[in-house]
Structure 1
Amino acid sequence: MNTERIRPGHAGTGRSNPTLEDIATAAGVSRSTASRAINGGDRVSPQAQAAVDAAVVELGYTPNRAARSLVTRRTSSIALVIPEPDIRIMADPFFAVIITGITDALRETDVQLVLLMSRNGDDSGRVLRYLRGGHVDGAIVVSHHRDDPWTTSLPGTGLPTVFIGRPWEARPGVPYVDTDNYQGGRLAAQHLAAGGRTRVGTVAGPADMTAAADRLAGWREGLREAGLAEGTVVHADFTTVGGQEAALRLFEEAPELDGVFAASDLMALGVLEAVRRRGRSVPEDVAVVGYDNHALSATAVPPLTTVTQPMSAMAATACRILLEEIDSPGARPAPFIYPAELVVRESSGGRRLSAP
């Protein structure tokens, strides 16, 4: 007589994948106990958990995610919302670093990332409907603007949400991760002043973004502390082309400038080109400071002095906070702010400064 053990779900059933009932039978536990053991071990004894774990390995069980989501109300996915035009997202390395930071943080989990690119108008409404429809367990929002609906609409839906960058309306209990943009702008002003630059101006970022507003406010404070006039301010769109066009306008208004702070590295690259087009040199005639410390800042000609924005770390921290919010609703984590630090390279010269 053949006494070989017949595995549940494999002989006479026609099924290639064992069911939850098969796991329960093999482990000698009830179906509900097997389900709890597979879905996190809540109210399961160590002995039963070990038996279920062994049965899962022996039978090669793969959970049915669709069925599990009906029970747990989880989709095992989170959304990254970027309310910017597609062309901007593809051209700015900031977004590639953010996406990579989040996917790295998710690597040891079963959670998948859904990328949602949205602009004002119909796109925003469509994305909000998607987020409210239960398709994801939470959302990370980055590069948001003053008129975007995210800070007012998402928190009220009950969907766990974390912002990268301080929202315009930073409500209590709405978590965000940011760098100290105010202190970064202040360091840039102090650095140029310490290098003997007295006629300075700035290419500020979009006026409807908190990062740009905070960097500009810090820049102005640093100039006041150094006893320098505020100088000319021209706003641009965080792109190289926009930075170059803004810098050319800056030099038209104040041709004697000997120092420029650009509120992003991409705009600073545009400033470098504008200085060359004016027949001047960096840093001999004009010192230039950027913001971000992108990889491209070290390979610029000349290498770019810049304020560090730890983009990958910010993305990973935002992801960690979101996963904690999903697992423990109502935790209300405090904002996480990375300190400012200036990385000095050839575009400005001078000594290294960091936040006190």
Structure 2
Amino acid sequence: MDATTSAPAQRRRPTIRDVAAAAGVSRGTVSRVINGGHWVSPEALAAVQEAIRTTGYSMNQHARSLVTGRSNSVAFLLTEPQHLLFEDPTFSILLRGAAQALAGRSMPLLLMVAGTPQEQSQVLSYVGAGHVDGVLLISSHAGSPVLAELVRQGIPTIACGIPLGFEGQLGYVAADDLGGGRRMVRHLLDRGRTRIATITGPLDTPGGRMRLEGYRAELGDAYDESLVAHGDYTREGGAAGMRDLLARRPDLDAVFVASDLMAAGAIPVLRESGRTVPDDVAVGGFDDSGLAATLDPPLTTLRQPFERISTEMVRLLLEVVEGEEPAAITLPTSLVVRAST
């Protein structure tokens, strides 16, 4: 038997013509359904959707991009060193949530990390060339050249957290960092703590700045600069901040750490100094991204609604892509009390 005749014939890929024939509508109607369903009756829409299912038709995204002028994809842009993507669980939670929100719209999510000047230049060239429809900007810093260039080029962008310096130009979704900081300090005061220190996040980030403002506002006249150390949202930064505080204020009896990852670095330093948590020093964090519950002791912290943050960022970004004005949303945090306080 001839091998060329024994092989099964390759199945032809279904086309718009096939979908139109199966649905009993014109190819133009099918095209309108594929590109958003505008000016299509509910009956025709249902017929086309059923025909797409039964024929197994799959859109050629490249062809669609040529017609619409869009890439039909979105960038998840992290402006931090690459290792933090794996060390800080908040980023992976946000990434997963954004991917899930876009999956329902059949839009891929492109992960981009721009922690170095070279990476930033490459990313800006890529997004500026129109390879993505918009950018979900994660962990922006005040004065960031990436932030400024995205605004200058008019690339649809939604920031995670208030985009410092561009509040009126970019939309964003933020947790209530200031209110969360106040709530943690109030919790520690209510537990009888009187010498409450803090390890801040970077002060060029909205979380670092606003959580410190919340801490300061709740303490009022009791605020003491000697009880403030500055960190960088890393485990090592939390450890260094804790050592600095203990050297300056060995009498501290509580510390509000501006991220759970930094708290994970601070607690071992307290233990090494002979102090117990929470008997000698109570410790509170911020995030509740999964790490807090695994610490020893389990960490009292402020929970950010990460899944909702991702979902709202995607929604706002797609609205901007469609030409709507950028919007801003601030979501509440919630106190999760565990054994560290």
Fold match by TM threshold 0.5: yes
**Pair 1:17–1:347, CA change in 2 (3 A):** same
Q: Residue deviations 1:131-184, cap 9 Å, x none?
A: 111111111001111232233221333322110111111332521011111111
Residues 135-174 of structure 1: pairs in structure 2 closer than 5 A: 135-174=131-170
Q: Alignment RMSD, CA only?
A: 2.3
Q: 15, 39, 43: which is aligned to 2:35? A: 39
Matched residues, number: 333
* Map of 2:4 onto structure 1: none
Partner amino acid, structure 2, of 1:136: V
* 1:86 is the counterpart of 2:79: no
* Map of 1:3 onto structure 2: none
* Map of 2:3 onto structure 1: none
Give the deviation of 1:47 after TM superposition: 5.7
Q: Equivalents in 1 of 2:51, 2:90: separation in Å? A: 46
Q: Equivalents in 2 of 1:168, 1:182: separation in Å? A: 14
Contact 1:38 1:52 in 2 (8 A): no
Give the deviation of 1:298 after TM superposition: 1.8
Give the deviation of 1:253 after TM superposition: 1.0
Give the deviation of 1:190 after TM superposition: 1.9
Q: Give ranges in structure 2 of 5+ residues lacking alignment.
A: 1-8
SS of corresponding position for 2:136: strand
Instruction: Find the structure with the greater CA-based Rg.
Output: 1
Q: 319, 324, 339: which is aligned to 1:330? A: 324
Q: Equivalents in 2 of 1:304, 1:47: separation in Å? A: 55
| TM-score, length-scaled by structure 2 | 0.89
**Pair 1:284–1:67, CA change in 2 (3 A):** same
* 1:240 is the counterpart of 2:235: yes
Contact 2:200 2:228 in 1 (8 A): yes
Contact 2:162 2:173 in 1 (8 A): yes
Residues 136-285 of structure 1: pairs in structure 2 closer than 5 A: 136-224=132-220, 227=222, 229-285=224-280
Contact 2:305 2:333 in 1 (8 A): no
SS of corresponding position for 1:139: strand
Q: Residue deviations 1:59-106, cap 9 Å, x none?
A: 433222211111112222100000111111111111111111112212
SS of corresponding position for 2:103: coil
Contact 1:201 1:230 in 2 (8 A): no
Residues 294-309 of structure 1: pairs in structure 2 closer than 5 A: 294-309=289-304
**Pair 1:130–1:200, CA change in 2 (3 A):** same
Give the deviation of 1:205 after TM superposition: 1.0
SS of corresponding position for 2:291: helix
Deviates more, 1:159-168 or 1:231-240: 231-240
Give the deviation of 1:113 after TM superposition: 0.5
**Pair 1:71–1:290, CA change in 2 (3 A):** same
Give the deviation of 1:49 after TM superposition: 4.4
* 1:111 is the counterpart of 2:104: no
| TM-score, length-scaled by structure 1 | 0.86
Give the deviation of 1:15 after TM superposition: 6.9
Q: Residue deviations 1:324-354, cap 9 Å, x none?
A: 332x312332x11112332222211xxxxxx
Aligned-residue sequence identity (percent) comes to: 41
**Pair 1:189–1:49, CA change in 2 (3 A):** closer
Instruction: Return the structure number with greater helix share.
Output: 2
Q: Equivalents in 2 of 1:51, 1:260: separation in Å? A: 62
